[in-house]
Amino acid sequence: MHEWAPGERERHLAEIDEQGFTILEGVVPDDLRLDLTERIDRAMAEAGTGLGTNVFLGRHTRRLFNLLARDPAFARVPLFEPTLSLAEGVLDEGLLLSSLTAISMGPGQEPQPFHADDGSIGLPRPHLPITCLAIWALTDFTAENGGTRIVPGSHRYDHIPGKGEVTDGWVQAEMPAGSVLVYDGSVWHGGGENATDERRLGIVSNLCAGWIRQEENQLLALDRAYVAQLPPRLQRMVGYSVYRGLMGHVDQTDPGTWLDPERPSEMVWDRIR
Ligand SMILES: O=C(O)CCC(=O)C(=O)O
């Protein structure tokens, strides 16, 4: 269990609210960081992960999607208490895992176009936070190696960046390995430029409100028998749950009870007398 200093969690939540992001410095223990690094390298080698094929994915960058399906050890990322607790503060406890992706940004990578991660959702902006993301720095993130560029306050802009739109006023998430950048998915951001001769390695843990569609379809990506072995909280986060006793039900039952018939579950219909 992560120990917050008095007022620390509230300070991070206020930063996300005010500027769209916050940084948790040095929160990931070294053994976890190194273990995740080794597992990403193994999984990328097994999958034969190639370089991106466009300017957004990055022609010098390898991305491994669907991380949770590749190794249950990656469950530790979306369940990591400090970032999950902040995401619950931004969204609520009914949040879902939207996607889990490793990004290995190689030397020579140009800056990624600015974008908002919730930009595909056609709601008028600004709107309530509907996604909350965490980028884990498994190596140092620096100005030179492509630390994420982010525009403070842009989660409140009334539009998303136009294609190729150049914006000033961005700052860079420079953070030592073991730190995590947590942000509202409405904020304008993009990977920086890697002008070094070493890779910048990270994991993006994307969480969304329990009432919108997940970016990567976790229920199809993960076999049910596999999900049954994951921690119960993560089972709910991948979609074996109902939001407010209603959304996600099957024939008026909570699909979480398919994995554990004893799981307490109150359906909306039980509340109506
Ligand atoms: O790599 C980064 O710093 C940001 C990645 C990102 O925003 C994305 O791929 O959507």
Q: Whose CA is nearest to atom 5 of ligand 1?
A: 191
Q: Assess whether the C-beta atom of 78 lies below 6 angstroms from ligand 1.
A: no
pLDDT the model gives residue 272:
80
Q: Where are the alpha helices (DSSP H) in 175-228?
A: 218-221, 224-227
Q: Assess whether the C-beta atom of 148 lies below 6 angstroms from ligand 1.
A: yes
- 117 close to 181: Cβ distance less than 8 angstroms: no
pLDDT the model gives residue 148:
98
Encode pLDDT of 193-215 as tens digits: 999 999 999 999 999 999 999 99
Distance 147 CA to ligand 1 centre (A): 10
Q: Assess whether the C-beta atom of 189 lies below 6 angstroms from ligand 1.
A: yes
Atom of ligand 1 minimally distant from the CA of 181: 3
Q: Does residue 101 sit in helix, strand or coil?
A: strand
Distance 29 CA to ligand 1 centre (A): 23
Distance 73 CA to ligand 1 centre (A): 22
Q: Whose CA is nearest to atom 1 of ligand 1?
A: 191
The dotted CATH code for 8-240 is 2.60.120.620
Encode pLDDT of 182-197 as tens digits: 999 999 999 999 999 9
CA distance 210 to 98: 10
pLDDT above 90 (res 1): no
Distance 106 CA to ligand 1 centre (A): 13
Q: Where in the chain is CATH 2.60.120.620? A: 8-240
Q: 88: burial class by Cβ within 10 Å (0-12, 13-18, 19+)? A: middle
pLDDT above 80 (res 273): no
The DSSP bridge partners found for residue 205 are 100, 134
Distance 190 CA to ligand 1 centre (A): 5
pLDDT the model gives residue 8:
97
CA distance 75 to 215: 17
Q: Kindly state the percentage of the chain with pLDDT values over 90.
A: 94
Q: Assess whether the C-beta atom of 16 lies below 6 angstroms from ligand 1.
A: no
Testing ligand 1's pocket by substitution, the residue of 189, 193, 194 carrying the most ligand atoms inside 8 A of its CB is 189
Encode pLDDT of 46-98 as tens digits: 999 999 999 999 999 999 999 999 999 999 999 999 999 999 999 999 999 99
Q: Which two tokens stand for residue 95?
A: 């949040």
Q: Assess whether the C-beta atom of 103 lies below 6 angstroms from ligand 1.
A: yes
Q: Whose CA is nearest to atom 10 of ligand 1?
A: 117
CB atoms within 10 A of CB 215: 20
